Every structure is written in C-alpha cells, then in structure tokens.
Amino acid sequence: MATFTGATESLSMGALSVVIMGPDEEQRKAMAKALAGPQATVARELSGYPDVDEVADLVKGDYDVAIVHLDPDPEPALDVIESLCSGSNSMTVMVHSARQDPQLLLRCMRAGAREFLAEPLFASVIGEALVRASVRRDEVRRRKTAVGKLLVFTGAKGGVGVTTVASNFAVALAQYAKVALMDLDLELGDAALTLGVSAKFTTLDALQNAARLDSDFLAGLLTKHASGLAVLGAPDTIPLVQSTKDGIGRMLRVAREDFAYVVVDAGSPSIDLHEALFEMASTVYLVAQVSVADLRNANRFITRYFSGANRDKLEIILNRYVARNVEIDDLAITKALTVPAKWKIPNDYAAARRAQNSGVAVASEKNHPIARSFAQMAQAACGEIASPEKKKMFGLF
C-alpha cells in the first residue's frame, strides 16, 4: 500500500493538479522539483504504488495528471497505469524511467499512458508535456459540459427490423446534428452492411481497447457515411469474448462527449447489459410488429424493464405496419402493450429489402412513405418542428 503525503493548499487558477508516485524517494523529489512553477501543483505524493481502493480514490479526486515512476520494477507500475486509465477518461497518465526500452514504452502506451519521460529529467521536456496535458484537460472539460443523448433501439423479438429502423433513423437524424451509430450486436450485427459502409475497425476494437479509449482513439475507429453519420459496426466474425458492461459504458460515455446523439443498435444483450443501457439512455425505442407473438413479447419486455420510472423513456415503434389490420386493431395493440405505440413505420417490404441489399438507406429517399416516417422520428428526437405536408389539390377533372 502506498503512503500519501501532499499539498492541501488550494490550486492556483489554471494549474494542473498532479499526483506523483513511485518507491524511490529521491526520484519523487526530483520530479517535484522539475514540476515547480505555475503550470502544475503537486497535490499528492505516493511512496509506492496504490492498491485498488487507492486508485479508486485517485480517480474520484479528479486529479489532472498522474506521474508514475517505472523503476525499479515496471510490472506493478504498469498495473497501476492500466487501472488509472481504465478508471478515468480525463486524467493524463505520464511515466518516467531511466530505461530506454522500446518494448517497455510500447507496453506503457498500450496501458494508456500518454507521455514517456526519459531520465534524466529536464524541466523543458516536462514543461512541454504539461502543456499538452493542460490542453487535453481543457478539452475534456469542454466536452463534459455538453453530453450527447443516448438513443437505444431494441426489439421485442428477432427479425422485427431493429437494425433497419435504427440505421435509417440515424441517417435521418444526421441531417440535423452530429450523430454516431454503434452496433452492439457483436455476434450477428449488420448495421454497417445495411448502410453500405465498409469499415476497417469495429465495435470489438473499441471494447478490446477500453482502457485507452478516449475521443481521439474512438474517432480513429469510426467510418463516415455519405449522410455525415459516423458508424461503428459489428465485427465480421463472431468474437470469442463477450462484451462487458464496463467496456460498453466507457465506449458510450466517450462517444457522447463528441456527438450530440449516439444511436445504439442494442442487438440481443444480456439482462445486465439491457439494464445498463436503459439506465444510461435518454430514449429507448422498442421495435415490434403487429402479431400475437410480437405483442406478447413486447408486453413482457415492458413489464420487466419499464414498469416504473423508466417508462417515460420508452417509445414503441410498430414496424411494417398495415393500417387496415382487421385481425388486430389499434385498440387491441394498445391493450396488449399497456401503452400506445408512438411510431408506425408503413409496410413496404420490397423497398426495405431493396435498400438493404443495395446498401442505400430508405431514409435518403425523401418522398418515400417510410422515409417520411423516419424524418418525423428524427425531428421529434432533436426538437425540430416537422414541416407540414402539402395538401393535395383537387381540380374539376
């Protein structure tokens, strides 16, 4: 366990709050001396490496920079670096060492460290690193002031068209704001394929690098659609590992710092992931079709997840809707769901299949009835006023 010492005085305006740690007291003193000046204040000093509880305290403390001494034993230091970077998206982690080992440098960067300070320590080099950390801190603070909305799409059962609805809705919404679409169906997701997007990176790349995931890293994984929509699709092969609640939560938090809206194709996650997604979501869109099986499953879904305070988040979409369904009318649908459906996507299976096979979003066909439905949903989501449809003019002939 590390021993804490440190400053209790208030930090100067704009100065970085720094934690330094390592078992070598002389090195800690040298680092503190190099940090002396208006750029930074040493807020904590640890005579070793923190354990799990201490790392959590550091993350909660909202420090701007952590500087970790790698010598003499890099292994525990690397564990601390990874824990700090996993726990905080805003803290800049730096390392310093007398070792000039490229493999060690690579491992530090993979763990999430942003600066490698070679010994002997020079004030000019440390000063430049602090400038970069200060710029990053200000950018993180700016992003935190405007967190984007999370819009989650899920289905009452398989085959109801969740991916088609989520993808086309995201394309429509991208006309009004900065939007990202993320496919969380790691096993069989095809949101990117539906939009004709060929991507080098996928959701799996983000989740496997959750410890170092930040705005810059995520931006490098996203692929731009012709509509301006940023897409992170599912992998082409079924992964051997399962996604975790923490990894998905971190990925979505980072995305919401950069995008006004993050649209999620939820796929078929576990109960724990469902609950985590719904808790974070601004709106949950439950997609169903008008059939006995769909309505029964939708009822079970609503009862399980939206019987309490979360009900205000829920909006039900009836996909492939046929207005004159004599077998199940609107009154029966509302009774089965316990809440009225808010959106009805008209049935045009041929057009939807054609768009899916060609990789061209139906939402881009402005005059198509399905496209108009997605446009109305997008306008409602972002508070735009829907433009009134032109009335038909009737003549004498």
Average pLDDT over residues 73-101: 88
User: Using an 8 Å Cβ cutoff, are 164 and 352 in contact?
Assistant: yes
In 66-90, which positions are buried (b, 16+ CB within 10 angstroms) versus exposed (e)? bbbbbeeebeebbebbbbbbbbbbb
Task: In whole angstroms, give the CA distance from residue 176 to residue 37.
Answer: 46
Task: In whole angstroms, give the CA distance from residue 93 to residue 59.
Answer: 12
Average pLDDT over residues 230-248: 86
Write down the H helix ranges in 174-308: 191-194, 203-208, 215-221, 245-258, 271-280, 292-305
DSSP structural state of residue 357: H
User: Using an 8 Å Cβ cutoff, are 172 and 166 in contact?
Assistant: no
Task: In whole angstroms, give the CA distance from residue 21 to residue 27.
Answer: 9
Domain ranges (residues) in the chain = 4-144, 149-382
Q: Is the predicted pLDDT of residue 143 greater than 80, yes or no?
A: no
CATH class of 4-144: alpha beta
Q: What is the pLDDT of residue 152?
A: 96
Task: In whole angstroms, give the CA distance from residue 110 to residue 200.
Answer: 20
Q: Is the predicted pLDDT of residue 397 greater than 70, yes or no?
A: no
Max avg pLDDT among 141-150, 186-195, 346-355: 186-195
Average pLDDT over residues 128-139: 88
CATH value of 149-382 in 2.40.50.140, 3.40.50.300, 3.40.430.10, 2.40.30.30: 3.40.50.300
Average pLDDT over residues 319-333: 84
Q: Is the predicted pLDDT of residue 202 greater than 70, yes or no?
A: yes
Q: What is the pLDDT of residue 5?
A: 54
- 4-144 matches 149-382 in fold: yes
Q: Is the predicted pLDDT of residue 386 greater than 80, yes or no?
A: no
Q: Is the predicted pLDDT of residue 392 greater than 50, yes or no?
A: no
Q: Please state, in angstroms and as integers, the Cα–Cα distance from residue 88 to each residue in 49, 64, 83, 162, following that order.
A: 17, 10, 9, 33
Average pLDDT over residues 304-323: 86
Query: Which residues face 262 on adjacent strands?
Result: 150, 180
Question: Which has more pLDDT, 105 or 1?
Answer: 105
Q: Is the predicted pLDDT of residue 293 greater than 80, yes or no?
A: yes
Is pTM, for the whole model, over 0.75? no
Q: What is the pLDDT of residue 117?
A: 92
Least confident of 119-123, 198-202, 347-351: 347-351
What value does the mean pLDDT of the chain take?
85
Contacts 24+ apart (CB under 8 A), 125-128: 126/34, 126/35, 127/37, 127/39
